[in-house]
């Protein structure tokens, strides 16, 4: 399995760069991944969604869809695309150290 280094942390990743073990994740890794996907700084709004995704995944062992996030009032779609442009749920999940959602190509 491939590995990647983010800051001082070496973690296992899949072929697309998603962490294979979410327990290896930390905020330093999240900041490094964000920069790698062209998000220079994670704001409190970014962290709200990242924390929500991590909690959801921990509780359900699954990833929510964009439709679920919108339908349940988690985040307006416009805000999601503004915070995580060009593949918002895919980028947010990667930064959160979670698997790529099934709904993402």
Question: DSSP labels for 36-88?
Answer: HTT-----HHHHHHHHHHHHHHHHHSS---HHHHHHTTSS-HHHHHHHS-SSH
The Cα–Cα gap between 9 and 24 comes to 9
pLDDT in tens, 56-93: 999 999 999 999 999 999 999 999 999 999 999 999 99
Distance CA 27, CA 9 (A): 11
Could you give the residue numbers annotated as active site? Answer: 104
pTM for the complete prediction? 0.93
Whether the Cβ atoms of residue 24 and residue 7 lie closer than 8 Å to each other: no
């Amino acid at each position: 399995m491939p590995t990647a280094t983010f800051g001082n942390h070496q973690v296992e990743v899949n072929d697309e760069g998603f962490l294979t073990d979410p327990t290896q994740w930390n905020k330093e890794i999240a900041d490094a991944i964000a920069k790698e996907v062209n998000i220079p700084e994670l704001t409190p709004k970014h962290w709200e969604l990242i924390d929500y995704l991590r909690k959801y995944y921990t509780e359900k062992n699954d990833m929510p869809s964009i439709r679920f996030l919108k339908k349940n009032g988690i985040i307006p779609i416009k805000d999601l695309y503004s915070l995580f442009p060009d593949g918002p749920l895919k980028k947010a999940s990667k930064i959160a150290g979670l698997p790529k959602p099934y709904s993402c190509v």
